[in-house]
Amino acid sequence: MLKETSYKTAAMLAAVAVLTVALAATVRAADDATGNSMQAQIDHGKSTYASKCSHCHGPNMMNSGTITPDLRAFPDDKTRFVTTVKNGKNNKMPPWADILSDDEIGNLWAFVSSRRKP
Ligand code: HEC
């Protein structure tokens, strides 16, 4: 009786250990080459967006789409994104090259990509 209980406890502990290892592996797999997790990049991009872009492109990228384009519909084209954000466009979209670092623009891209409409 006592022995059976301790087998069960041991089995449960083993299961918890396996789950912990699996979880740690999943978190590591999401890290990029620079060691920043994708989620960390998205979070940074989100706060940069909120302070620098949201007054024109709408809170959390939601706007009527009539004055500024809906960034959730922006194509999966990082080069075009980085170029526009750095240089601006048509004197309406301001240039950010002197204000945002490449890392910050990369994080913005991670955030925009995370909100892309299917
Ligand atoms: C002063 C208002 C304003 C701010 C601030 C602003 N934008 Fe824009 N953005 C615009 C307008 C207007 C356009 C449309 C320009 C056009 O197509 O003529 C645009 C277009 C864009 C485009 C589409 C470009 C393309 O190639 O089609 C992207 C991407 C973009 N903005 C990203 C951003 C990001 C990221 C930020 C914050 C760093 C930002 N914008 C801040 C007004 C703004």
The pTM assigned to this predicted structure is: 0.78
**Rounded to 5°, angle at Cα 87 from 35 and 105:** 15
Q: C-alpha dihedral over 39, 43, 48, 50, to 10 degrees?
A: 130
Look at the block and give the residue holding tokens 């002197």.
98
pLDDT at 85: 98
pLDDT at 63: 86
User: Which residue's CA is the nearest one to ligand 1's atom 32?
Assistant: 85
State in Å: Cα 56 to ligand 1 middle.
Answer: 8
State in Å: Cα 113 to ligand 1 middle.
Answer: 15
User: Which residue's CA is the nearest one to ligand 1's atom 14?
Assistant: 68
pLDDT at 22: 52
User: Does the CB atom of residue 111 touch ligand 1 within 6 A?
Assistant: no
Mean pLDDT split into 10-residue runs, the chain, 118 residues = 63 59 48 74 97 94 87 96 97 96 97 93
- State how far the alpha carbon of 20 is from the alpha carbons of 17, 24, 28, 33, 49, in Å: 5, 6, 13, 23, 34
pLDDT at 8: 66
State in Å: Cα 89 to ligand 1 middle.
Answer: 7
